[in-house]
Amino acid sequence: MSKTFQAQLIEARRNLIIDAAIEVISDQGFQRTTIKQIAGKAGIADGTIYNYFNSKDDILMGIVARLSEEESQDINTAEEEALDFAAFVAMFVEPRMDEINDRYHVLKVVLPEMMSNAEMGSRLFEQIYAPMYEVIEHYFQRLNNDGQIDAIDSELAVRLFASPFMGLIMLRMMGDEHIAANWDGYTEAVGQYLRKAFQKNN
């Protein structure tokens, strides 16, 4: 068996387990979910899961990595292709808002676990968000140097850029029905807000 084919099989099995975990955890929450239940949903033996994940916490990290995969790809594209700020906002905002809406049933279960478990929260930031932020910080610094956005510390800018998305998720989780009922309107408003907040001479 070639290494490439073996790697593809491993990735396929990991995705099978993550898909099963998303279904079970979305239905009954992370704490009440067991490895046995995830294995049953995936149609594999309990012990097989440990060939791909060390623990249930690792599976949760796999879910978050899946949820952030397209976001990371778009950020890398913006940096590699040196997109201007307006193009980046146009490319980034609507897909992110669509993903949040489509995957909200998962996010509302996963995020509270990450926030209530300090160790998991640290792992989430260090393994997933810190590398992503590093790329977009470099991109924002280039935009700043090119005069496309108002002068602002790039580390600060990245976190301010992310805050509308996280804020809307949190408000929706707390029961703000206006957000869920008017999601398309919020999508348009977030794009407008980010352009006005960051873009120079706008």
**Cβ 97 vs Cβ 187: under 8 Å:** yes
**Domain range for residue 158?**
55-198
Q: Are residues 59 and 48 in the same domain?
A: no
Question: For the chain, how many structural domains are there in total?
Answer: 2
DSSP 90-151: HHHHHHHHHHHHHTHHHHHHHHHHHHH-HHHHHHHIIIIIHHHHHHHHHHHHHHHHTTSB--
Q: Are residues 61 and 17 in the same domain?
A: no
For residues 197 and 149, what is the distance between their CA atoms, to the nearest angstrom? 9
* Helix 104-116 and helix 3-28, axial crossing angle in degrees, nearest 10: 90
Q: Are residues 130 and 89 in the same domain?
A: yes
Under the banding of pLDDT at 50, 70 and 90, the label for residue 2 is low
Q: Are residues 107 and 30 in the same domain?
A: no
The last residue of a domain, from among 53, 68, 97: 53
N residues, the chain: 202
Q: Are residues 138 and 76 in the same domain?
A: yes
Q: Are residues 78 and 30 in the same domain?
A: no
For residues 82 and 101, what is the distance between their CA atoms, to the nearest angstrom? 28
Give the CATH number of the domain where residue 33 resides. Answer: 1.10.10.60
DSSP label at 62? H
Backbone phi and psi for residue 149, each to the nearest 5 degrees, phi listed first: -125, 160
For residues 141 and 143, what is the distance between their CA atoms, to the nearest angstrom? 5
SS3 153: coil
Backbone phi and psi for residue 175, each to the nearest 5 degrees, phi listed first: 100, 15
Q: Are residues 32 and 64 in the same domain?
A: no
Q: What is the pLDDT of residues 3-16, one digit of tens each?
A: 687 888 888 999 99
Which token pair is 8? 């593809």
Mean pLDDT of the chain: 91
Q: Are residues 67 and 80 in the same domain?
A: yes
Q: What is the pLDDT of residues 21-71, one digit of tens each?
A: 999 999 988 889 999 999 999 999 999 999 999 999 999 999 999 889 889
Give the CATH number of the domain where residue 68 resides. Answer: 1.10.357
Q: What is the pLDDT of residues 119-168, one digit of tens each?
A: 988 988 998 899 999 999 999 999 999 999 987 899 999 999 999 999 99
Q: Are residues 89 and 3 in the same domain?
A: no
Q: Are residues 92 and 179 in the same domain?
A: yes
